Structure 1
Amino acid sequence: MNSPTRILVYGVHGSGKSTLAQQLAHRLGLPWHPVDDLLWEPGWVEVPIALQRSRIEAICRHERWILDGAYHGWRDVPLARADLVIGLDYPRGLSFRRLLRRTRDRLRTGEEFCNGNRESLGSVLSLDSVLVWHLTGYARERARMRAWQQDPAGPPVLLFDTPQALENWLAGLPPR
């Protein structure tokens, strides 16, 4: 495969999508567009779906990009343009532990992300918590990645079921 220039990184919450996207951007010299920054305004105000779609369409019109997720209302846009989908298909326990650790660290440090937003104890304990999203969406996201991999009409999909398998693949990428 030629070096991909339009990459969608996909996986459940906590699987490491953003970390991988950042690594790939550095390694391949591609622009990374953190999806959460396109979806959330300060104060955890969700951007309307039509505007999310418009933002994603503008990015995907380019020949070089990395996105670290794809959500309802516009998932079809990057899939139609991607020349590679990387699926982080890790076991539930691994991704949930990573998500718990990240959430704990963000609560402790007050780290800002997503346009200045922060995790709070209230948000973590709410029914709209990223932890709940992981628990309720895990099977659906895994099934979606596997279906994409089986679809001959879609872009190539590489599924990694362990961090070591991903590291082995990354080690084989050509240096920048």
Structure 2
Amino acid sequence: MHDRLDPAPLAGQRVSVIGSTGSGKTTFARTLAQRRGIPCVELDALHWGPNWTMPPTDEFRARVAEALSGERWVTDGNYSKVRDVIWGRADTLIWLDYPLPVVFWRLTKRTLRRIVTQEELWGGNRETWRGQFWDRDSLFLFLLRTYRSRRRTFEALIASPEYAHLTVVRLRSPRAADRWLARV
């Protein structure tokens, strides 16, 4: 695992972008896919239905497998229930491993923008003040509960023989990510 600024990892044709909630996975994945001229598969769009409903696990896995059946793609997200499908097929893993204050600030800006503009998300859903700031399912609480453990989990998974085939690019700041993308 290492930070890289050389374009070698982009020789990969199947890229998974991971990171904490609010780190900018979707934006990074879209930018990378656009620059490479390959499809971008947003996992949240395959996962969330109307009223924030989730599909059964087998249905979600089937959706992801079908969406990633092509030879070239970039996807974003950390859904453990499909990790084996994604990482098993991916050749490159890009980890946006930013410090907690950076991610918290990015999540705050994104959430406020979505609430104020009433941006429609997957399945027609929208974020609300109550849902994001006073609900037990708040992404802020989720971030605080999972930040450290998720980093440990990613480190262990990346080091496991099962995923030794992956080229791993660990970017530790938005500036490093921007520099890396600039070379694409």
Could you tell me the TM-score, scaled by structure 1's length?
0.92
Q: Does 2:173 correspond to 1:172?
A: no
Higher helix share: 2
| Residue of structure 2 equivalent to 1:56 | 64
CA RMSD of aligned residues (A): 1.4
Q: Does 2:182 correspond to 1:140?
A: no
Match of 1:5 among 8, 13, 21: 13
- How far off is 1:153 after superposition? 4.4
- How far off is 1:152 after superposition? 5.0
Residue pair 1:148, 1:157 contacting (<8 A) in 2 also = no
**Following the alignment from structure 2 to structure 1, what is the Cα–Cα distance between the partners of residues 158 and 181?**
19
Residue pair 2:19, 2:78 contacting (<8 A) in 1 also = no
Percent of residue pairs bearing the same amino acid type: 38
Counterpart of 1:93, as a letter, is P
- How far off is 1:12 after superposition? 0.5
After superposition, where does 1:1-176 map in structure 2 within 5 Å? 1=8, 3-124=11-132, 125-154=134-163, 155-173=166-184
**Following the alignment from structure 1 to structure 2, what is the Cα–Cα distance between the partners of residues 131 and 100?**
8
Listed as ranges, the gaps of 5+ residues in structure 2 are: 1-7
Listed one character per residue, the Cα deviations across residues 70-113 of structure 1 (whole Å, up to 9, x for unaligned) are 31221111110101000000000000110011111111111111
| Residue of structure 1 equivalent to 2:4 | none
Task: Compare relative contact order (CA 8 Å, sep 6+) and give the higher one, 1 or 2.
Answer: 2
**Following the alignment from structure 2 to structure 1, what is the Cα–Cα distance between the partners of residues 64 and 98?**
26
Aligned length: 173
